[in-house]
Amino acid sequence: MWEYAPAPEARETARLRSSYGMFIDGEFSESSAESLKTVNPATEEVLAEVAVAAPADVDRAVAAARTAYERTWGPMPGAERAKYLFRIARLVQERSRELAVLESLDNGKPIRESRDVDVPLAAAHFFYHAGWADKLAYAVPGRPDPTPLGVAGQVIPWNFPLLMAAWKLAPALAAGNTCVLKPAETTPLTALVLAEICQQADLPPGVVNVLPGAGETGAAVVGHPGVDKVAFTGSTEVGRQIQRTLAGTGRRLTLELGGKAANVVLEDAPMDQAVEGIVNGIFFNQGHVCCAGSRLLVQESVYDDLLGRLKRRLATLRLGDPLDKNTDIGAINSAGQLARIRELSASGDAEGAQRWSPPCPLPDRGFWFPPTLFTGVSQAHRIAREEIFGPVLSVLTFRTPAEAVEKANNTPYGLSAGVWTEKGSRVLWLAQRLRAGVVWANTFNRFDPAAPFGGYKESGFGREGGRHGLEAYLDA
């Protein structure tokens, strides 16, 4: 028996402080009202106290962003803005270990992912958009002179705290907007370190403001009359509320919401890689991924073979301490999310699907859920229709490609989909018919700053990344 010895990343690397202020007009300040405690979901210990932004703080931040937009950032030549963005990108790289460890502490995701995915991609987004800052005349075809929108109010989720901050800030800043960013209640820390990095990069005061808080703070940001553009990533339910708030105001809005992606495996798929893609699709980041491949659609002729391979592979997943470099599955981000995963999984049992998990001891403290798959799932089951946002895979079958398309599209969501086949023409045939913003062929959960990302139907509208993402921050 070869047991890998524990290989934990040093916690001190995170340079965790006992309290964090909010970042307004280039300075950190204490809360005028209350504070929140952010918790390590792997241990339930309190990591730090974080200032909560009250409505008065939101006013201050929006005013600072307005001033910066009108006096410094808006009029600044693109080539100058680019220098700041390049500087931020390099600082993210320089402080990558600190950011990765802090992200894993605050979010619960394995260090392997924060180190190899979240932080490098966050830096890549700043690099990519830095390059656009002085080339905006070429960003939108036929619009040689686009202008920024003004102040952007941005609300981001807890699943990729730093990466989502980068997705929101980088294009907005490159286009010449200023930002008021609200990180998620349970994961505010890396966004605040990113604010510190903005300070370190000498970004002019007010260009980026970071306001921690819960739903009320978010509502105050998106509903603020001084905000010209709202960008939200999160649940479909909150997305609807925001759309109602903004209806008729003329303010711009992009929404990136939930998903229930189909991962379609055809009989001629590269099976071993498909198994990896399925695992990566649903167990990456504990399934806390809006574009997660949560519905596996398998062609019946290869169902037994694929399921056997998949189960064997799940048995090798290593669940535990997020800071251990060999951990594959970390902690569920919060007690609330864990309760939701449990409730939906219980509905799977109750509605007649068969639950399976590999032998997987869970730590005594913290929020944990084992990698789980349900077989015998039908389109009617809640676990096939509702977003679980956890490490739970629903397995369904189909007989023909046409049936796969029909089942894959039979959802109110439309964010992403995956296709596995060695036949190129079949990839294209399916990709044309799958109603999803992103279709991955023979891969899954692959991101690049140059590739637009976003959904339709109840998964939202607007794109992030690439030229399409830039357009959302330009008046063109």
Q: Which residues are catalytic?
A: 256, 290
**Distance from first CA to last CA of the chain, Å, rounded?**
62
Under a CB-based contact definition with an 8 Å cutoff, are residues 317 and 329 in contact? yes
Closer CB to other proteins, 134 or 276, in the complex? 276
Q: What are the structure tokens assigned to 299, written together?
A: 């062609």
Closer CB to other proteins, 217 or 280, in the complex? 280
Binding mask 426-445 for other proteins (x = CB under 8 A): ----------------xx--
Binds other proteins (CB under 8 A): choice among 34, 80, 272, 304: 272
The β-bridge partners of 329 are 319
Under a CB-based contact definition with an 8 Å cutoff, are residues 401 and 266 in contact? yes
Q: Considering the rule CB under 8 A, would residue 422 count as an interface residue with other proteins?
A: yes
Binds other proteins (CB under 8 A): choice among 27, 44, 94, 116: 116
Q: Which of residues 287-316 bind other proteins (CB under 8 A)?
A: 316
Q: Considering the rule CB under 8 A, would residue 276 count as an interface residue with other proteins?
A: yes
Q: How far is the CB of 318 from other proteins (least distance, A)?
A: 9
How many Cβ atoms from other residues are within 10 Å of residue 356's Cβ?
A: 16
Q: How far is the CB of 5 from other proteins (least distance, A)?
A: 4
User: 70 burial class (0-12, 13-18, 19+ CB within 10 angstroms)?
Assistant: middle
The distance from CA 69 to its chain's CA centroid, rounded to whole angstroms, is 27
Closer CB to other proteins, 44 or 305, in the complex? 305
Q: How far is the CB of 277 from other proteins (least distance, A)?
A: 7
Q: Considering the rule CB under 8 A, would residue 425 count as an interface residue with other proteins?
A: no
Under a CB-based contact definition with an 8 Å cutoff, are residues 362 and 370 in contact? yes
Coil/strand/helix, residue 299: strand
Q: Considering the rule CB under 8 A, would residue 268 count as an interface residue with other proteins?
A: yes
Report how far residue 343's alpha carbon sits from residue 383's, in angstroms, rounded to the nearest whole number.
10
Binding mask 320-339 for other proteins (x = CB under 8 A): -----xx-------------
The β-bridge partners of 460 are 256
Q: How far is the CB of 83 from other proteins (least distance, A)?
A: 34
Closer CB to other proteins, 60 or 112, in the complex? 112
Interface region with other proteins, contact rule CB under 8 A, candidates 179-187, 269-277, 374-382, 397-405: 269-277
Coil/strand/helix, residue 456: coil
Report how far residue 23's alpha carbon sits from residue 31's, in angstroms, rounded to the nearest whole number.
10
Q: Considering the rule CB under 8 A, would residue 98 count as an interface residue with other proteins?
A: no
Interface region with other proteins, contact rule CB under 8 A, candidates 4-12, 207-215, 281-289, 329-337: 4-12
- Site size for other proteins (CB under 8 A): 23
Q: How far is the CB of 423 from other proteins (least distance, A)?
A: 9
- Positive or negative, the CA dihedral 373, 374, 377, 381 is negative
Report how far residue 233's alpha carbon sits from residue 110's, in angstroms, rounded to the nearest whole number.
22
Coil/strand/helix, residue 81: helix
Q: Which of residues 45-84 bind other proteins (CB under 8 A)?
A: none
Coil/strand/helix, residue 133: coil
Chain residues that interact with other proteins, rule: CB under 8 A:
1-7, 112, 116, 268-273, 276-277, 316, 325-326, 422, 442-443
